Structure formats: C-alpha cells, structure tokens
Amino acid sequence: MQIAVVTGASSGLGREFVYQISRTETLDEIWVIARRKNRLQELSAKIKTVHVRPIALDLTSQKSMTIYRELLKQENPDVRIFVNAAGFGKMGNYAEISRQDCDSMIDLDCRAAVDMTVLTLPYMREGARILEICSTAAFQPLSALSVYAASKAFLLHYTRALRWELSPRGIHTTAVCPYWIKDTEFISTAKKTRNSTAVRHFPLASHVHSVVKLALMDSRLNLAVSTPSPMSFVHRIFAKFIPHSAMIGIWELLRRI
C-alpha cells in the first residue's frame, strides 16, 4: 500500500499539502494527523480521488507515538511522502509567553518532528520524499519569537544533516522554510499571549496554495532547502551575509512598525 503521511493536516499548510498531493500523486491512501478529529474527517470526506485516513493524535504525547508506531507495524505501508507540518509558535518576550507554551513549542516543533520522522523512516524506500516544515525564522535568532525561531533552527539543522544520512538510501529530504503566510491559523495562535502586539504587521505575507506548490516542486527536485516565496528567498540570502546582530536590529524595527 503506497501512502503519504501528513501531520498538521487539520488546517493551513498541512491541509493544503493533502489537497495538492491528492491531485498530483498516485497513492492508495493519505494518512492525515492532527488533534482535531472532526477537521480531519471533513477533509477526508472532501477528497474523492484517494482514501484519506483521519488519525487524531496529539503529537506532544508519548502515547501518540506508540499508537503511530503500532499502526505502521500493523499496516506495513510504503510511505512515498512524509510531510511534517504540525507546529506552532508564540509571540512575546520571555515573560509574556507561558512556560507551558514554551515547552509545548519545543516538544512539537523539535521532539515530535524527530520522533515522527524516525518512526516513519523504516517504511520509506528509494525515491520517497520527506518535507520538514521549518520557517524563515530558522535563518536567524528573532526576539519576541525566541523559542519558536530556535526550534525551527533545530529542525532546519536536523533536516539538513538527515539528508546526508539518507542519501545512500535515495530518500529526498527537504527543509521547507516559508516566510509569513496569511491564510493559516498560525498567526492567530501565535498572538494568543500576554502581548498580542509583539509583532504588529506581516507585510508581503504569502498564501498557502503557492507555498505548498513550490515546496512540492522543490522536493521533487530534491533541494536541501526550499524557500517557497520571494520573501523567504531574500531572507535566506540576507541572513547568510549580514551578521545576526544586525539582522536582529532590523527585525526589532520591523516588528514594531
């Protein structure tokens, strides 16, 4: 059974990945993972071209990892595409974000991303593709997004190193680094802290459709890092050549405008 697995599929990027994969790939099933079961069921009902299997899991819990591992063992699928899009961020300084939110960010954006990838890998073979959804936040430290940006830097570095480990197996591994995206729940979730105006504006934000289309194309081309919008590409170049201290200064100005 050839399948795709998409985490974070109940909204935003993950859901759009499911739509586009269902249109462009020949698969027997797409496994969709997130906490909100009703959203996953709605998605499954909407897609007619391939069977979409809703799997409601909270990826910050170890029990969910055991459930996923057992499901893989039972079904023994051939995972052609694994998209890890589950993730969230919170805006505010060290005193404005709860410790629980900080821990959950690290848990979901780092630990769960690694665990889900490692659990899926035994079921992937040559030509399979992994897309780890990082962020342009991975390119530099960001005040008022310090834990989130650090968690995405972790995922970017992990993904780039994993790519080398997996290259003898012929598995394509791409770190997808989008800039702000308007039409997802990310920004509204991120603003729910003690300082909802820590970042005031999101200029030139992109849209999920084009981000996912470009990310899938970059993964087909086996790029190490996908910057799926002009802004994410520019950010990547700037962060490479301008010292981090100057980039943080620019960010401090931009987020207050």
Q: What share of the chain is helix, strand, coil (3-state, %, to 5)?
A: 50, 15, 35
Q: Which is nearer to ligand NAP, 14 or 92 (CB)?
A: 14
First to last CA, the chain: 51
Q: Which is nearer to ligand NAP, 87 or 92 (CB)?
A: 87
- The whole-angstrom separation of Cα 112 and Cα 134 is 13
Q: Which is nearer to ligand NAP, 32 or 50 (CB)?
A: 32
Question: Tokens 């800039």 sit at which residue?
Answer: 179
In Å, how far from its chain's centre is CA 134? 5
Q: Which residues have CB under 8 Å from 225's CB, separation 6+?
A: 156, 160, 174, 175, 177, 236
Q: Least Å distance between CB 86 and ligand NAP?
A: 4
Q: Least Å distance between CB 166 and ligand NAP?
A: 21
Q: Which is nearer to ligand NAP, 79 or 151 (CB)?
A: 151
Structural contact between residues 22 and 7, judged by C-beta atoms closer than 8 angstroms: no
Q: Which residues have CB under 8 Å from 217's CB, separation 6+?
A: none
Q: Least Å distance between CB 223 and ligand NAP?
A: 17
Structural contact between residues 251 and 148, judged by C-beta atoms closer than 8 angstroms: no
Q: Least Å distance between CB 23 and ligand NAP?
A: 18
Q: Which is nearer to ligand NAP, 14 or 77 (CB)?
A: 14
Q: Least Å distance between CB 136 and ligand NAP?
A: 7
Give me the residues that bind ligand NAP (CB under 6 A), please.
Answer: 8-14, 34-36, 39, 58-60, 85-89, 108, 133, 135, 178, 180-181, 184-187, 189
